[in-house]
Amino acid sequence: MTHISVTVDGTVYEDEVEPRLLLVHYLRDRLGLTGTPVGCDTSNCGACTVELDGMSVKSCTVLAVQADGGEVTTVQGLARDGAWTPLQRAFHERHALQCGYCTPGMIMAARDLLRENPHPTPGEVCQALEGNLCRCTGYQNIVRAVLAAAEDTARETTGQDSAAGDGASGRRTASGQEVTA
């Protein structure tokens, strides 16, 4: 067993873990953060994308011991005090989810893109999300949601407000509260 100290969604955790334990399994099985799904366990689908020290990573390819001393942000850690990020709101309002399985990874990868490029083109959005697979949506609404989130973020920084969407199931999926198997 190896001792790790990792900050996840703002909370510090001290644990003893097997050196071979994947970060995705640590998040889900040890911490109960089931908003990050296990998709393929081979880094092909991107569903398990989280941020590690500010960079998006596929948590099925990172060992928990590699996160020692680091800061992990999951989709469940994005909304603060119930307030969605513009990206989560855009995914919900623009119907960028269907079954919801890819949604956490898509949101985390899109967040990484928007941090680096706050005004992406549709082509840049597609390129940034190419490591994340979706089996239901056809991607158009996902791209539209990311572009809308960029606009909404720009609007919010200038003091303009945007309307919040409604719909319980979509809210749970976009915020990572929908439990995935």
Domain ranges across the chain? 2-77, 86-158
Each residue's pLDDT tens digit, 21-71: 999 999 999 999 999 999 888 889 999 999 999 999 999 999 999 999 999
Fold of 86-158: DNA polymerase; domain 1 (1.10.150)
What are 65-100's pLDDT values in tens digits?
999 999 999 999 999 888 999 999 999 999 998 888
**Rounded to a whole number, what is the distance in angstroms from the first to the last CA of the chain?**
27
d(CA 43, CA 158): 38
Q: What token pair was written down for 69?
A: 């001393």
* Counts of helices then strands in the chain (DSSP H, E): 6, 5
pTM above threshold 0.75: yes
Residue that the structure tokens 């994340």 belong to: 132
Q: Which pLDDT band holds residue 173 (cuts at 50, 70, 90)? A: low
| CATH code for the structural domain at 2-77 | 3.10.20.30
